[in-house]
Amino acid sequence: MLIYAGIDEAGYGPMLGPLCIGGACFRLEHAEAQDGPPDLWELLAEAVCRKPSDKKRRLAINDSKQLKGAASGKSHPCRHLERGLLAAIASSQVPMPGSDLALYERLETSLPREPWYAGADIELPLAGTMEEHRIQAAVLRRALENRGITIESIRCETVHPQQINEAAGRHERKSALNLAGALRLADQIRRDHPEAHPRIVIDRQGGRQSYREQLSLAWPGATVRILGETPGISRYRLDFPEGPITISFEAGSEENHLPNALASMTAKLVRELHMARLNRFFGQKIPELKPTAGYVQDGRRFMREVDPVCRELALEQKQLVRAV
């Protein structure tokens, strides 16, 4: 039996909206831990693929950057992110979330109380019908059952601009917040499966190659052993009284590990739903306002245009705009 998990982020670079960190954990009953993680795209090929244009209409599971469509397209830009994530959630026969708040509850995250996130729930699905999504979930469920695989958990951490700004005031790097969120998700997986020796892959951010110090600080009660540190992969074994875990930090992990691809999709969809609320809030006050994805150049344009609203409502920019 193998516990195989992936952790990835979305929204590291923008100036508006949250940094989101997703995690997806799989149980493989017929895999041996010492053999290394198998190719889940191959094992689940009857139900999943990498490309959204698949002729068999299988679920596309891939790096979110490969699946998110253009805002100017005919279909909703998040349709493939949503299609894969909702099917994965419902593959364990839990009710499919019908709103963004219900989705957050499933992912064990929550929506902050900032005014730009208030208002009516965003209904799901964004594209297609609920019945279509249930059918896709059933197809995935059958493929998983045929291979003795279950999706144990899908979670998401959100780090909001005020948290990023407060950390910057303490001279903490944004990368440290990202890593801390990833390690919190890894710790939840460890606690869920204390005797199973989980294998957890975390997408590497930036050029850091050594993580031993950060792992030792995060888990002072664990013995940390370096299994390898290369430009592409840094791998560690951590021994706890309950049992070990192995954590790998890998560049481009979404291309090689389906759990990381699903984690990337989770983080991206959660971020997009947050941005949809933010755009709705300001769009209701400035009807001609063009929505923003929150990246720096367009984010500055957006903030110039909404500045009168911020002044009128006394909205604090440190809660809305990242300083770094």
Question: pLDDT tens digits, residue range 93-102?
Answer: 888 999 999 9
Mean pLDDT of 225-254: 95
Listed residue (295, 311, 302, 323) closest to 65, CA to CA? 295
**What pLDDT is attached to residue 33?**
67
Question: pLDDT tens digits, residue range 267-307?
Answer: 999 999 999 999 999 999 999 999 999 999 999 999 999 99
- Tally of CB atoms within 10 A around 101: 16
Question: pLDDT tens digits, residue range 274-284?
Answer: 999 999 999 99
**What pLDDT is attached to residue 291?**
97
DSSP 42: H
Mean pLDDT of 113-127: 96
**What pLDDT is attached to residue 70?**
84
What token pair was written down for 205? 């951010």
Q: What is the DSSP string of 99-136?
A: BHHHHHHHTT------GGG-SSPPBS-SSS-HHHHHHH
305 contacts 286 by C-beta, under 8 angstroms: yes
**What pLDDT is attached to residue 73?**
75
What token pair was written down for 276? 């949809």
Q: How far apart are CA 282 and CA 302, in angstroms?
A: 10
Considering all CA atoms of the chain, what is the largest pairwise distance in Å, rounded to the nearest integer? 61
Question: pLDDT tens digits, residue range 27-61?
Answer: 999 887 666 789 999 999 999 999 998 888 999 99
| Strands (E) located in the chain | 2-10, 19-28, 48-49, 59-60, 149-159, 199-203, 223-229, 233-239, 244-250
Mean pLDDT of 242-255: 95
pLDDT at 309 over 80: yes
Q: What Rg do the C-alpha atoms of the chain give, in angstroms?
A: 20
- Which of 33-47, 100-114, 152-166, 233-247 is least confident? 33-47
**Beta strands 223-229; 2-10: pairing state:** unpaired
Residue type, 66: Q
**What pLDDT is attached to residue 35?**
66
Mean pLDDT of 119-132: 96
Mean pLDDT of 95-111: 95
Domains and CATH numbers, the chain: 2-277 (3.30.420.10)
> What is the average pLDDT value for the chain, to the nearest integer?
94
- Residues paired with residue 159 on neighbouring β-strands, in sequence order: 19
Q: How far apart are CA 304 and CA 315, in angstroms?
A: 14
pLDDT at 319 over 80: yes
Residue count of the chain, please give it: 324
Q: How far apart are CA 90 and CA 132, in angstroms?
A: 12
pLDDT at 197 over 90: yes
What token pair was written down for 219? 């888990």
**What pLDDT is attached to residue 67?**
95
What token pair was written down for 227? 């299994």
**What pLDDT is attached to residue 31?**
83
